[in-house]
Amino acid sequence: MSTVYPTIKKIAVVVACAFAGIAQAQTLKIGLASEPTAVDPHYHQTTPNEALVSHIFQPLLAMSPDMTLMPALAKSWEATEETVWTFKLDENARFSNGEPFTAQDVIFSFCRILNNETGIGSGAVNTVRRIAAIEAPDERTVLLKTTVPQPVLPNELARIPMIWSGIVKHDKLTFTPKEGCGVTSPWPVVNDFNSGKAVVGTGPYTLRSYVKGSGIVLERNDKYWGEAPAWSEVHMRAVPSAGPRLTGLLAGDFDLIENPAARDLKRIKESGFEYTVKPSVRVMFFQLDAGREQSPMVKSPKGDNPLQNAKVRQAMSLAIDRKTIVARIMDGVAEPANQYIPQGMFGAIEGAPALEYNPKKAKELLAEAGYPDGFELTLSATNDRYINDAQLTQAVAQYLSRIGIKTTVDTMTRSVYFPKRAKREMSAALGGWGSETGEAGNFLQYWTTTYNKELGVGSSNYGRYSNPELDKVYLQAMRTLDDGKRSELLQQAVKMALADMPNIPLHFESGVWAYRKGIAYEGRADQRTLATGATLAK
Amino acid sequence: MALFIVRRLLQSLLVLLAVSVVVFCAVYAVGDPIELLVSPDVAQAERDALIARLGLDLPLWKQYGVFLWRALHGDLGNSFVHGIPAVQLILQRFPATLELVFVAITLTCVLGISLGLVAGLYRDRWLGRGIMAGSIFGFSVPNFWQGMVFILLFAVWLGWLPASGRGPTIDVLGVPLSVFSAEGWSHIAMPAVNLAIANIALVLRMTASGVSEAQSQDYVRFARAKGIKPGRIVRRHILRNILIPVVTVIGMEFGSLIAYSTITETVFSWPGMGKLLIDSVYQLDRPVIVAYVMLVTLLFVMINLVVDLLYAVLDPRVQLLEPTA
């Protein structure tokens, strides 16, 4: 040991110096709120995963910070027929090993998504399933063929990163997922990416190291075909509790942190740090059990389920003062919601009025619906998933109590909450949903449309609200390629949903980032934290 | 001795089996992880395929059977969330925790026993009284709060130490350790002290009361009357006799620190096993929780075995086998 020790010490000194040297180069240290579960871009579609992966891999099309579609690996896209989307790939696009990005890589990426044995629940599978055939007339042109018109396909493709076909052995690649697409070696699994072996992307960064629970180090991709990013190196570490994450920033462990608690923003400013607040696409809402004669958490004097009555649902919405909730509970770091996606996005009702706060009218409506003395209701919510979820629920409960609905609150940890909600053990359940396609159809598809396993719609419609008229308008919109017409149809569907109010929208969460002086950070509506969004301030 | 060890190992197997049944049922009762794992925009067919792949469609007894069969072959299952073997996930985190606990335990032994000795020997003077009074703070201040205060003081106000995380690591025989660099020590200092303080107080008080009790015993008086030097009395006569309960406590604490350093690891974002357990509980990552509890049980069993063996070393009168009647 006595002979080993000095050597180790020497190594230690060398390594420590090396680290100190790196720290002086342009390194960005980021404190994340939750850890990505893998580097595999087709593994798990969660915000932390998508954020990490988008440093290394790129999709055909990308979303701007305000959720408008823009070119990425494809420089143009167009519906050349009702059921054919044609993409022109950018001839400059290169992988980090210098290989050009071609149509073969597109076919391989889509094939891998359908042949991903280790993946857990990536929505990308849904999207790729809708592609019936892929044709590549030349190296830089890709035709995606579908059986029915798919106007939202480009938006969905913005969430599907492309990988390099050279990580497997293959003959000529064809889009025949069942027959193996021409791949002759085993498909890559999650560990091939986590170990860095299969990590070959076209993005601005490459993976240096990924140690679960300890941290992620990215370094600048010298062969990047786009504009070089500001930081030569990016260190990311997850610190789930907001308090330690903030102290990490204050102590200089981090240059940038995501999701500091809204109540700390004043202190951040006073301590000489900066922050960015960016309204997000995540809407918070209460989903009501509108589909059953009897509901488990409701007790009505008549013995029925008052939540089936649209007037009752409207009355509940009228009873909630969203402005006050945003000001008091959310510390101003949210926007009152008047529909399910923010104003200005595709399919949002243009110039929609704020949802009214009028307890008097609410009481009248309740009486009109036949419940002058109200009823008993329990609001269910998480207490560790969304920003201030438990306090928010308390506030809503008080507003409902004021119009005569005797409301109690039941909050629980997310691991108990989500399985319970899926078993439909709730009557009014808090939900949060970010429409990452940047258009109104996304929320309607999962939360409002009638539950239908075959069509893949209404899968989160736990309240089992059903309105055939709305379904018809929504489905028609999803088959309409004409943007103007589709937007109109979507607006019509959203209006119907608001009139019937099966989901009471509350507010849009805001993404918040805090950072040290000397950095400028542009937030994103999809709440992803990207090193490329941070620049050295002038 | 060998027979004793074999018998203890057999007992351990039974304990592990019982623990596995209890944990498996408990984790099963919490709920269905599929809703946490899978986003609502995943089609039902995918969801069903995943449920089947994870074996969640089987009845509880069958799931347990599959688990037990695999466990017998050394496979405690794959993490639902990370998709890699649960044991691998835990072992990746193990060096970080072990390192932290070793530093904390070393601090506990060195400071706890020496301060306890001083406090016991100078029981009636201000020095002894001061140490005893100080030790009360040691275990009455909540661990997480103490950690927060440390961070505020040393990281935010004074800026001496980093607030969170682990320093750069160096592979020693394939195990990544951070205690061989100055930066590594700056990271480990606060969490290790935070973890150690309550234990120092505990060991200190035990040692002090043992020492003051032993001092009034006949054998110490005789030794003193015989004219043996005070230093030798303390080393050979007092310490040796009072160390048995202290060793027991340190052994138990060693186990619980490894298993439940969760709070410290969370406050300081130390990438150890405790933090992994918390994350896994949040995500209902059943295989990781079960594997974790199994490994920790094994650890406790082994520590108890070592403690028993240490008794025999410390006190020759201790016999490891009950005499056969």
- Rounded average pLDDT over B13-36: 84
Q: Which of B45, B67, B43, B46 is nearest to B55 (CA)?
A: B67
pLDDT beyond 60 at A19: no
All residues at 6 or more sequence positions from A476 whose CB lies less than 8 Å from its CB, including other chains: A489
Nearest residue, CB atoms, B182 vs list A16, A248, A250: A16
- Rounded average pLDDT over A304-309: 95
pLDDT, one tens digit per residue, over B241-290 is 788 788 888 888 887 888 768 888 888 888 888 888 888 888 888 899 99
Q: How far apart are the first and last CA of chain B?
A: 18
What six digits make up the tokens of B65? 């059977």
Q: How confident is the model at residue A208 (pLDDT cuts 50, 70, 90)?
A: very high
- pLDDT (0 to 100) of residue A536: 87
- pLDDT (0 to 100) of residue A187: 93
Nearest residue, CB atoms, A247 vs list B163, B180, B283: B163
Residue A303 has, within 13 A of its CA and on its CB side, a CA count of 0
- pLDDT (0 to 100) of residue A4: 43
Verify whether the Cβ–Cβ distance B163 to A253 is below 8 Å: yes
What is the spatial distance between Cα A102 and Cα A91, in angstroms, rounded to a whole number? 8
pLDDT, one tens digit per residue, over A253-266 is 899 999 998 889 98
Query: What DSSP letter does each residue of B239-277 carry, written as one string?
Result: IHHHHHHHHHHHHHHHHHHHHHTHHHHHHTT--SHHHHH
pLDDT, one tens digit per residue, over A319-349 is 999 999 999 999 999 999 999 999 889 999 9
- Rounded average pLDDT over B89-93: 86
Q: CA of B261: how far to CAs of A446, B167, B238, B311, in Å?
A: 41, 18, 32, 26
Verify whether the Cβ–Cβ distance A247 to B36 is below 8 Å: no
What is the spatial distance between Cα B54 and Cα A390, in angstroms, rounded to a whole number? 32
All residues at 6 or more sequence positions from A357 whose CB lies less than 8 Å from its CB, including other chains: A318, A319, A320, A321, A322, A323
- pLDDT (0 to 100) of residue B322: 55
What is the spatial distance between Cα B260 and Cα B262, in angstroms, rounded to a whole number? 5
**Tokens 């599959």 found at:** B66
* Selected residue with higher pLDDT from A194 and A214: A194
Q: What are phi and psi of A189, to 5 degrees?
A: -115, 175
A27-32/A256-258 β-pairing: parallel
All residues at 6 or more sequence positions from A501 whose CB lies less than 8 Å from its CB, including other chains: A288, A310, A313, A314, A316, A317
**Tokens 């204050």 found at:** A250
Q: What percent of chain B has pLDDT over 90?
A: 5
Nearest residue, CB atoms, A118 vs list B41, B83, B89: B83
Q: Which of A265, A357, A345 is nearest to A316 (CA)?
A: A357
What is the spatial distance between Cα A39 and Cα A192, in angstroms, rounded to a whole number? 9
All residues at 6 or more sequence positions from A509 whose CB lies less than 8 Å from its CB, including other chains: A280, A282, A283, A284, A334, A386, A387, A432, A527
Q: What is the mean pLDDT of chain A?
A: 90
Q: B35 and chain A: CB distance < 8 Å anywhere?
A: yes
Let me know: does A351 contact A283? Beta carbons within 8 Å: no
CA A16 to chain centre: 38
Interface test with A, best of B27, B39, B41, B148 (most A CBs within 10 A): B41
What is the spatial distance between Cα A422 and Cα A460, in angstroms, rounded to a whole number? 8
Predicted ipTM beyond 0.85? no
Q: Which residues of chain B make contact with A16, given a CB cutoff of 8 A?
A: 168, 181-183
What is the spatial distance between Cα B162 and Cα B156, in angstroms, rounded to a whole number? 9
pLDDT beyond 60 at A124: yes
Task: Give the sign of the dihedral formed by CA B181, CA B186, CA B187, CA B193.
Answer: positive
Q: Which residues of chain A make contact with B184, given a CB cutoff of 8 A?
A: 12
What six digits make up the tokens of A301? 């004097």
Position B136, amino acid: I
Position B253, amino acid: E
pLDDT beyond 70 at A430: yes
pLDDT beyond 70 at B51: yes
- pLDDT (0 to 100) of residue A105: 95
- pLDDT (0 to 100) of residue A15: 46
CA A203 to chain centre: 20
Query: What DSSP letter does each residue of A384-424 carry, written as one string?
Result: SSSTTHHHHHHHHHHHHHHTT-EEEEEEE-HHHHHHHHHTT
Alpha helices in A403-482 (DSSP H): 414-422, 441-443, 468-477
Q: Which residues of chain B make contact with A252, given a CB cutoff of 8 A?
A: 159, 162
- pLDDT (0 to 100) of residue A164: 95
What is the spatial distance between Cα B321 and Cα B325, in angstroms, rounded to a whole number? 11
- Rounded average pLDDT over A524-531: 93
Q: How far apart are the first and last CA of chain A?
A: 52
pLDDT, one tens digit per residue, over B99-149 is 899 999 999 999 998 898 888 888 888 888 888 888 888 888 888 888 888
**Tokens 């990013």 found at:** A229
Q: Which residues of chain B make contact with A121, given a CB cutoff of 8 A?
A: 37-39, 42, 46-47, 50
Residue A378 has, within 13 A of its CA and on its CB side, a CA count of 13
pLDDT, one tens digit per residue, over A138-195 is 999 999 999 999 999 999 999 999 999 999 999 999 999 889 899 999 999 988 998 8
Q: A64 and chain B: CB distance < 8 Å anywhere?
A: no
Q: How confident is the model at residue B325 (pLDDT cuts 50, 70, 90)?
A: very low
pLDDT, one tens digit per residue, over A437-466 is 889 999 999 999 999 888 878 888 999 999
- pLDDT (0 to 100) of residue A25: 57
- pLDDT (0 to 100) of residue A20: 43
pLDDT, one tens digit per residue, over B146-159 is 888 888 888 888 88
Q: What is the mean pLDDT of chain B?
A: 83
CA-nearest residue to A6 within chain B is B180
Q: B143 and chain A: CB distance < 8 Å anywhere?
A: no
